Amino acid sequence: LRELSVSAADPPPAQSRPISVRDAQAIILREIKPPTPGPTPVTSDVVGLMLAADVAADVDSPPHDKSMMDGYAVRSADLASGHATLKVLEEITAGRTPTRPIVAGCASRIMTGAPIPQGADAVIMVEHTRYGEGHVEINTSPPRPGQNILPRGSEMRRGDVVLPAGTLLRPLELGILATVGKTEVSVRPRPLVAVLSTGDELVEPGEVPGPGQIRNSNGPMLLALAAHAGAGHRYLGIARDRPESLRPLIAEGLQSAVFLLSGGVSAGALDLAPDLLCEAGVTAHFHKVAMKPGKPLLFGTYDHADGRRTLVFALPGNPVSSFVGFELFVRPALRRLMGHTSPDPEAISAVLAQDFHYNTDRPTYHPARLELASGRWRVRVVPWQGSADLRALAQANALVVFPAGDHHHDVGQTLDALRLE
């Protein structure tokens, strides 16, 4: 490895000791340069991105005092008893402008969304009225002034910041953007994640494995994790455990904002990824994390001549290790790249629902089920065969963190857990 910057206080020449998950997360976030935001047309493609600049209203909404009901616009003074027969002046539908002020003894038929005519201060629901021969008979309780009227500007006033920078764009925000006439917004581009699986033993899911072979489960899983995290994604296929096979695919992966490589990252005879990444110009920031599953995990950066930076994650090949590595390190990196202010996964304090004896040499992210019981999170351990056991992980909705050592954990003990999306 060309360079390691484990921590400023204690920079080892080559990484002998694994670093903590927390330090690893801090190093990753420190190395990220979020791309400059740019103007982007508002289409469903921006859903999931963060606004990089405030959006202000260019109009009052509603643009006029507006009726919230189909009914009759009246003067509340005419209905002090709740009963009256009023002369109907005109019919005001949404999009029309009233032409007749409401004077004593008069009303106008009005539809939802239509502007309130001058002189009126209440709308009576059509259900409480009966129309006949130019007059309306009203039988209701006395209306209060303002009843069924939404005043101009009550939702937003021209100049109000309706969506501050840092807002996550969901479908509902697109409705607000449309209200204020924003057809273009400033957002950071969706990061593109390239995924490369490595291993001589791998075949694609559509193939039948021969002797000694297994199917490539990490490729589809990592692509889907990236997509689900809101990133763009690109599959680079399977590299064989040979420099000639890995080199061109590494070069390809380094073209994306984020390059995920799985397998070949530990210390086996055919674990070529660290050396070949280094050869390609990647600066490694750490290569071992004190965690289970997935201790060998390399994070590096590659700086392009034009100033762009590619983040490189070489994840261990075992599927649960790859998955946990994604959740702990890649997802926060993607969140930061997309402009989230709090990218780190949120730790949930949970009460252990069972006695559990566990002996582990590293802090362990164990598959578990979290449930909310009378206002407290309870966590139950899911039986698990280790880092290849993706099937057990599918029964989990969380990872519970057990400290290193040989411990009896008692029911009722509080542990940290990480909720899985």
Please report how close the Cβ of residue 198 comes to Mg ion at its closest, in angstroms.
Answer: 6
Contact in structure between 330 and 297 (CB atoms under 8 Å): no
- Taking the complex as a whole, the smallest distance from the CB of residue 214 to ligand AMP amounts, in Å, to 6
User: With binding defined as CB under 6 A, does residue 317 bind ligand AMP?
Assistant: yes
Instruction: For residue 187, report the phi and psi dihedrals to the nearest 5 degrees.
Output: -140, 155
Residue 60 interface partner, choices ligand AMP, Mg ion, none, CB cut-off 5-8 Å depending on type = none
Count CB-CB contacts under 10 A for residue 318: 22
Q: What SS3 state is found at 346? A: coil
Q: Which does 266 bind (CB under 5 to 8 A by kind): ligand AMP, Mg ion, none?
A: ligand AMP
* Closest separation in Å from C-beta 323 to Mg ion: 16
DSSP 90-111: EEE-TT----S---TTEEEEE-
The minimum distance between CB 270 and ligand AMP, in angstroms, equals 7
Per the CB < 8 A criterion, the answer to whether 387 and 316 are in contact is: yes
Which member of 25, 67, 129, 266 binds ligand AMP (CB under 6 A)?
266
User: 398-402 and 364-373: which strand pairing?
Assistant: antiparallel
Cα angle 281, 282, 286 (rounded to 5 degrees) comes to 145
| 283 is a site residue for ligand AMP (CB under 6 A) | no
> Is 140 a binder of ligand AMP (CB under 6 A)?
no
Strands 71-74 and 122-125: antiparallel
- Among 71, 230, 264, 339, the residue binding Mg ion under the rule CB under 5 A is 264
Stretch that binds ligand AMP, among 34-42, 64-72, 88-96, 209-217 (CB under 6 A): 209-217
209 binds ligand AMP (CB under 6 A): no
By the rule CB under 5 A, 219 interacts with Mg ion: no
Q: Are the CB atoms for 20 and 306 separated by under 8 Å?
A: no
Q: Which is nearer to ligand AMP, 39 or 268 (CB)?
A: 268
Q: Which is nearer to Mg ion, 240 or 380 (CB)?
A: 240
Side-chain-side CA neighbours of 227 within 13 Å: the count stands at: 9
| Shortest distance, position 360 Cβ to ligand AMP, whole Å | 19
Rg (CA), the chain: 31
The residue with its CB nearest to ligand AMP is 317
| Element (DSSP H or E) covering residue 350 | strand 347-352
Residues paired with 368 in a beta bridge:
381, 398
CB 387 to ligand AMP: min, Å: 8
Among 263, 294, 332, 339, binds Mg ion (CB under 5 A): 263
To which H or E segment does residue 325 belong?
Answer: helix 319-325
Judged by CB under 6 A, which stretch of 127-135, 171-179, 316-324, 398-406 contacts ligand AMP? Answer: 316-324
Build a one-symbol-per-residue string for 101-120: x at contacts with ligand AMP by CB under 6 A, - elsewhere.
--------------------
Contacts of 273 (CB under 8 A, 6+ apart): 198, 246, 261, 263, 264, 265, 298, 314
Interface mask (CB under 5 A) for Mg ion, residues 168-207, using x and -? -------------------------------x--------
Structure tokens of 22? Answer: 């927390």
Give the nearest distance from C-beta 273 to ligand AMP in angstroms.
Answer: 8
Name the phi and psi angles at 306, rounded to 5: -85, 10
Task: Using CB atoms within 10 Å of the CB of residue 367, give its burial: 0 to 12 exposed, 13 to 18 middle, 19+ buried.
Answer: buried
- Distance CA(50)–CA(363), nearest Å, equals 34
Select the residue interacting with ligand AMP from 202, 250, 370, 399 (CB under 6 A). 202
Out of 61, 148, 262, 283, which residue is the one contacting ligand AMP (CB under 6 A)? 262
Q: What is the SS3 assignment for 76?
A: helix
Out of Mg ion, ligand AMP, none, which partner does residue 319 contact, by CB within 5 to 8 A per kind? ligand AMP
State the residues that interact with ligand AMP by CB under 6 A: 197, 199, 201-202, 214, 216-219, 262-266, 268, 316-319
State the residues that interact with Mg ion by CB under 5 A: 199, 263-264, 317
